[in-house]
Copies of this chain bind each other. A is one copy, B any other.
Amino acid sequence: MSQTQEPRRKPGRPKAGDDQRDVRDAILDQAEACFAAAGFAGASLRDIATRAGVNQALLRYYFGSKQDLFDAVFRRRGGMISGRRHVLLDRALAEPEPSVESLVRAYLRPQWEMKQSGPGGAAFIALQARVHAEPEAHALELRREVYDPSLKRYIDALSGQLPGIPRDLVATRMAFLVGAYLFMLNDLGRLADLSEGQIREIAEEEMLEQLVRFLSAGLKAPGI
């Protein structure tokens, strides 16, 4: 078999205007997909590099270690979600008397939007669920760094609308809420078979509304 001379790219800086979309982003995108599919340990830098169409050493050049790359992946979309949460909370609080439902909806919607935004967003949602299930201290710090600030604002806002319930119980219930939506978003497709044939073709948008109703009722439940 005659070696089909592949025109190997030579090392060195590429000519300007060569690759429009940033190489960094291509790496982050593929890393996101790999980490989501296989977890931190299961994903390999070689695979990520190959899929992104670059050399493995370039990952190191841009991001440093594997852990650093993972963190960059998580912070990128996590920051977007957190930022969007702030915006939607401000908007909800601008209403004269914001309902618990509207606050819960504001909290959940950014995650929802992220999942709907495309395959990259959906991959991140899966990745996020994994990070939340990891017991390592670093994973905990990471999610705290990204998500705790907005979470605390929501706890305060909800406390204001739930006068009978002490703040720390609201905080506890918010933790329940986080678990429910993480799982639901991640599991949505497979959720269908639970009802065993009794066709569940709830439109995805309606599913979010169902979750809002469920969680709001839980938050409003009378305290001890």
Whole-angstrom distance between the Cβ of A122 and the nearest chain B Cβ: 10
Whole-angstrom distance between the Cβ of A68 and the nearest chain B Cβ: 18
Chain A interface category by residue count = 35 or more
B-side contacts of A194, CB under 8 Å: 148, 151-152, 155, 171-172, 174-175
Interface segment out of the listed A9-17, A34-42, A55-63: A34-42
Question: Is A183 a contact of B182 with CB atoms below 8 Å?
Answer: yes
The answer to whether A87 has its CB under 8 Å from any CB of chain B is: no
Give A200 to B174 CA distance when docked, in angstroms: 14
Q: Which of A179-218 contact B (CB under 8 A)?
A: 179-184, 186-187, 190-191, 194-196, 198-200, 202, 207, 210-211, 213-218
B-side contacts of A179, CB under 8 Å: 179-184, 187
